[in-house]
Amino acid sequence: MKIRVYYEDTDAGGVVYHSQYLNFCERARSELFFTKGLSPHKENEFFVVKSLQADYIKSAKFADLLDIQTKVIEQKKASLVLSQIILNEKDEILFKMEVQVAYLKNRKPYRIPENILNIF
């Protein structure tokens, strides 16, 4: 998934604000659903972030066109661990993250449906 960096994503340091990389990664996770004609939010069923480990390697700047890549590295009944990396147009890794997401139904852990597992 390609994401352009706009003014709103940057801060007075001239680069992308640190928490914004998490937003980019979340957009990429959501877009995996959208491209399959599914929604990441089905009534009272959706994923939530449980934990994450993030490394900031190089700064993204205004106007950069970023590439966000996502893959599953661990799969359990009601949760996934994903590895996500953000690269710039020169294919330099700017940011990497391992994020554990849990699937909830009515705010309780719930087995991830088959059609959703197939997305990843």
Which residues are the active-site residues? 11
Question: Among 2, 36, 41, 111, which residue sits at the site for its own copies (rule: CB under 8 A)?
Answer: 41
Residue 95 near residue 86 (C-beta atoms within 8 A): yes
By CB under 8 A, residue 62 contacts its own copies: yes
Measured from the Cβ of residue 116, the count of other Cβ atoms closer than 10 Å reads 18
Q: Is 84 in the site for its own copies (CB under 8 A)?
A: no
Among 18, 36, 76, 108, binds its own copies (CB under 8 A): 18
Tokens encoding 62: 């205004």
H or E element, residue 117: helix 114-117
- What does the alpha-carbon distance between residue 45 and residue 82 come to, in Å, rounded to a whole number? 19
Site for its own copies in 85-114 (CB under 8 A): none
Q: In angstroms, rounded to a whole number, what is the distance separating the alpha carbons of residues 94 and 56?
A: 6
17 binding its own copies? (CB under 8 A): yes
- Return residues touching its own copies (CB under 8 A): 4, 6-8, 10-15, 17-20, 22-23, 26-27, 30-31, 34, 39-41, 46, 48-56, 59, 61-63
